[in-house]
Chains A and B, each alone.
Chain A
Amino acid sequence: MAKKIALLQGNEACAYGALYAGCNFFGGYPITPSTEVAEVMSRELPRNGGKFIQMEDEIGAMASVLGAALTGAKALTASSGPGISLKQELIGYGCIAEIPCVIVNVMRGGPSTGMPTGPSQSDIMQARWGTHGDHAAIAVAPASCQEIFAETVRAFNLAETYRMPVQVLLDEINGHMRERIELPEPGDLEVINRQTPSVPPDQYLPYDPDFGDVPPLAAFGSGYRFHVTGLNKAADGFPTTKAKLVDAEERRQIRKVEANRDKIEKNEEYLVEDADIIVVAIGTISRSARNAVNQLREQGMKVGLFRPITLWPFPERRIAELAVRCKTLIVPEMNLGQMILEVERVIRGACALHGIGRVDGEPITPSQIIEKIKEVC
């Protein structure tokens, strides 16, 4: 049977991906350039028996998502830089209370109001360290509209599997760009639902380490009465200040991602096998980088592209391996040097490293990347 084809904007593809993953709750607040995600959800969710609510502010939107997720819903919110900054405290709440949900950040220039209609990749570090305290983070950074659909589905799967907030990083360009998409049929993409408890309610502990690093999560109203708090808590969910219990819980929450890097990480490698020069780029800018790689290959230069699709956890082992094999890494990003800090950390000086930054609201072009490579190599 012929595949269903659609012409979709990235933000729309994100919303349809969420619906494909079983999203049945959206809590949002209008903000450019993410608003189309909310608009599609407001139209489609009630048709599918889901719930859409536009809250009074960004914080309320995040709170409604966490509340809904605790009732068993697959919940989504979408925002952009300043809105994500407002949500950060509650993203941390989702981390410590281990509530699965997905947060879309269609990145725009900043800080503050910045450039609402200009593209940016300046929330790379916000996606990792935006909320206070030690915590694990998962963020995906798709490049094309097709991939935005699939990665939004995967973001829900990761949130459900690891019982935590997961971020989808788009930017003003791929959020608003329209592309041809093959719409996956039900069953084409894997859809994962959270593990719920199998023990009787009186034996249920919401953070029971006996079930591994990701304890099952009961839904409010399902007969499992339990307590949820943002305080450091013990396995039973109640607050504690006992050093040993706090330490065990904190470490488990970080370990659940660290120990599963192989399952969470996803990268694309393009012509890196024999490459002397490897460009490391995400999202929209990886498309400029691929074009630059093709042009330079035609000129006989051995250039490749490494594209983290999972941005967090950062693909540190693979980049370290590549750094030993190649001579130079080039990191173009629409900010003044965020991802390059991670690359620098993991390669430990194994090869030369050069960044290309841009914060003027324009994308980094293939010719800019070519120029830089010719300048430094």
Chain B
Amino acid sequence: MAFDYDKYLRPGKLPHIWCPGCGHGIILKGLLRAIDACGLDKDNTAIVSGIGCASRLPGYVDFNTLHTAHGRAAAFATGIKMAKPEMNVLVVGGDGDGVAIGGNHFIHACRRNIDMTYILCNNFIYGMTGGQFSPCTPTGDRASTTPYGNPDPVFDIGKLAIGAGASFVARTTSFHATQIDKLIAEGIRHKGMAVIEVLDDCPTTYGRRNKFRSVVDMMKRFKELAVPVAKAASMSKEELEGKIVTGILHQEQRPEYCEQYAEVVKRAQKS
């Protein structure tokens, strides 16, 4: 039987704002399948975002939803989770929102290992403002503010999250639609900070400036470059150059922040 997305969508809020060919819709569907697979209670689930195209997602879905300010989603989400640890807290946002203006909140949420699931839709560009380069725009690429090619090096979000202390880090692409929900579901089930980076296509502001003739070309590129984690393990650094390693990049059990704070409460109440 086809999956019933309507169960989780707010009536009357579609059509969404995303352009034809945008990968955010694929991620939205993956997110809803993951939520369903994990059996999350709508009343007890908060979905938080910042600003940008991907950050419009919470408006469409029937949960406790919070569309915050640019870059601040992880910090708002931290307040929600701390105040009400029994709530499931998910964050959705883009690359500029998450690791440029929101980079500080992102790394510190990872460091605390607070129990939330952060779905970072990395489309290599600031889409909503018309295609300016982000920390994830490949070096040399064109954006509206890099008319002579992007001089900036690229953030590796997976390494950033692992280095900062996230205890679950995964990556996939908008081509790998069925892997999206599996990884998000794994992230939701994981106790601690889970970061799922989904490489995403923005045909309107990134693709057309960078010689992708169609969305299909962008998708094909994800398909060609993707290397599952297990296969990547047997490949050399040179062989992996320019490839996209997909799957669970890192998972460990580490004390979760709200549980650690519960211990603080116990100690405080004894003293």
Contacts and interface: CB of A to CB of B under 8 A. Distances in A.
Counting chain B CB atoms within 10 Å of each CB, the highest count among A71, A221, A238 belongs to A221
Interface string A135-179: 000000000000000000000000000000000000000000000
B63 A225 contact: yes
Contacts of A125: none
Contacts of B68: 63, 66, 93, 230
Interface string B253-267: 000000001001101
B83 A90 contact: no
Contacts of B46: 220-221
Interface residues of A, number: 42
| Interface size grouping (class) on chain B | 35 or more
A223 interface: yes
Nearest to B106: A56
A56 B104 contact: yes
Contacts of B267: 46
Interface stretch (A47-55, A116-124, A274-282): A47-55
A73 interface: yes
Interface stretch (B22-30, B71-79, B182-190, B200-208): B71-79
B213 interface: no
B220 interface: no
A25 B79 CA distance: 9
Interface string A73-85: 1010000000000
Interface in A54-101: 55-57, 59-60, 63-73, 75, 89-90, 93
29 contacts: A24-B83, A27-B79, A51-B82, A53-B79, A55-B78, A59-B72, A59-B105, A60-B105, A63-B69, A63-B75, A64-B75, A66-B68, A67-B77, A70-B66, A70-B79, A70-B80, A72-B83, A73-B83, A75-B83, A93-B68, A220-B64, A221-B46, A221-B84, A225-B42, A225-B65, A226-B64, A226-B65, A227-B58, A239-B67
Interface of A: 24-25, 27, 43, 46-47, 49, 51, 53, 55-57, 59-60, 63-73, 75, 89-90, 93, 220-223, 225-231, 238-239
Interface of B: 10, 13, 42-44, 46, 48, 58-59, 62-69, 72, 75-80, 82-84, 86-87, 104-105, 107-108, 261, 264-265, 267-269, 271
